[in-house]
Amino acid sequence: MRIDIITVLPELLQSPFSHSILKRAKDKGLLQVNTYNLRDYTTYKHGQVDDYQFGGGAGMVMMPEPMANAIETLSKDISYDDIIYLTPDGKRFDQREANHLSLQQNLLIICGHYKGIDERIRQHFITKEISIGDYVLSGGELAAAVLVDAIGRLLPGVLNDETSALMDSFQDNLLAPPVYTRPADFRNWKVPEVLLSGDPKKVEEWRHDQSLQRTKQRRPDLLGDF
């Protein structure tokens, strides 16, 4: 899978993809992440990519021309399944969307800054608008890192244990059950007996029950779909 990202801060996106699971995904050739500096696509002086908003008001808007130029230049060589704009007024990102996006071949992600991008770019190029939560970030880069991480770990062959992504919270609209490791007795805080029983059926039942209880307590909204 290939994910291209248009940003004014490519440096901010170097580190998140250079460690751990995403690094492994890249090293194995399962995921390619490319960042493109929007300033390389402007014809304005001094690398200008933003301007005052029509109608007045505080805050700059990212100009349509450099963005259209960047999108069109990249789209000449690659056919994107989706061109995603990260914005607080987009559809809230969730595991279902991560699953869906992980099945695509080529994605282009646009990171906004300041007041956002010119509305005409949204209307004419963007195929999907995504928010990572009901709060405002100073730019789309950290949201892009969240998206790429959530998508990248789902690609077949990225996680060592193929089943482990399937057992994540949210995969079946339930939160994950509690987990324990050695020692079985730590400061007299004991691991539930059933996990030491060696009976896989009982363990599975216990985990499912714990997931259900945890979801009821913490996220009853998830059970609405049940």
Select from 137, 155, 174, 175 the one that contacts ligand ADE (CB under 6 A). Answer: 137
**Other CB atoms within 10 A of residue 191 CB:** 16
In the complex, minimum distance from the CB of residue 143 to ligand ADE, in angstroms, rounded to a whole number? 4
H/E segment holding residue 211: helix 200-218
What angle is formed at CA 132 by the lines to CA 130 and CA 138, rounded to 5 degrees?
100
Q: How far is CA 109 from the centre of its chain?
A: 10
* Residue 157 near residue 172, CB atoms below 8 Å: no
Residue 131 is a binding residue for ligand ADE (CB under 6 A): yes
Strand, coil or helix: what is 180?
coil
Residue 149 is a binding residue for ligand ADE (CB under 6 A): no
Number of residues that bind ligand ADE (CB under 6 A): 12
Q: Pick the closer one to ligand ADE by CB: 137 or 154.
A: 137
Q: Pick the closer one to ligand ADE by CB: 118 or 215.
A: 118
Query: What does the DSSP 8-state code read for residue 30?
Result: S
Strand-strand pairing, 50-52 and 185-186? unpaired
Residue 226 is a binding residue for ligand ADE (CB under 6 A): no
User: Mask 105-124, x = binds ligand ADE (CB under 6 A)?
Assistant: -------x------------
Residue 177 is a binding residue for ligand ADE (CB under 6 A): no
Q: Can you tell me the distance from the alpha carbon of 195 to that of 179, in angstroms, rounded to the nearest whole number?
A: 9
CA distance between the termini of the chain = 32
Interface of this chain with ligand ADE, residues 71 to 90, rule: CB under 6 A: 86-88
Residue 7 is a binding residue for ligand ADE (CB under 6 A): no
H/E segment holding residue 218: helix 200-218
Residue 136 is a binding residue for ligand ADE (CB under 6 A): yes
Select from 133, 157, 178, 192 the one that contacts ligand ADE (CB under 6 A). Answer: 133
Q: Which residues bind ligand ADE (CB under 6 A)?
A: 86-88, 112, 131-133, 135-137, 140, 143
